[in-house]
Structure 1
């Protein structure tokens, strides 16, 4: 198994990457080509679909950044971690928990849960 901290950190780096070419590079290095992302609000398939989701979130929340909350953990090819989306240096108003399934050390799928979302977010 790949280290859960490494998987979670690269995932957060991907969501914070604002340069499309660099984001695509991170996807190609760390995600399977046919990877899938799903949460209660959106879903995407493959690098194109995941990249489009990330770009959309960045456009909607241009001044907010993702950060890890707590310690990622996992077993086998499964990783669980919590994240926050908010301004630098402040508590995150949006929080969630994601579950990753890996294949050959790459993210094969992410299932996301939204733990805290303020009204209107």
Structure 2
């Protein structure tokens, strides 16, 4: 693995929280395989363009909110697992969950499968 799990998690959450489209594209290019896939109960996207659109949608759905790591990052083989919260500054989280991450041979994210622990009702 060419990047530490903690540094990769930092990039992952930076992707979600970055408002500047150009900077976000740089983060995605550095952290994700070109064929990267993200799937959770709300989204199923692939590739850098799909990831970009997904994050833009999340920003529209939850303005002023940011994602943050909660707890420890677990690792075995080419897999990582971490948990997260989504909250506005100084507020209780509105959503939270756990992501299982699969890495490619270069240590970039190949796939994220997300599970929601709690989320707003639709």
Give, in whole Å, the separation in 2 of the partners of 1:89 and 1:105.
34
Q: Name the structure 1 match of 2:46.
A: 45
CA contact (8 A) 1:38 1:44 kept: yes
Residue of structure 2 equivalent to 1:96: 97
Alignment gaps of 5+ in structure 1: none
Distance in 2 (alpha carbons) for counterparts of 1:22 and 1:39? 24
Q: Which runs of 5+ in 2 are unaligned?
A: none
Q: Which aligned segments of 4 or more residues in structure 1 are displaced greater than 3 angstroms?
A: none
CA RMSD of aligned residues (A): 1.1
TM-score, length-normalised on structure 1? 0.93
Rounded Cα–Cα distance in structure 1 between residues aligned with 2:70 and 2:90: 13
Aligned length: 120
Query: Structure 2 length normalisation: TM-score?
Result: 0.93
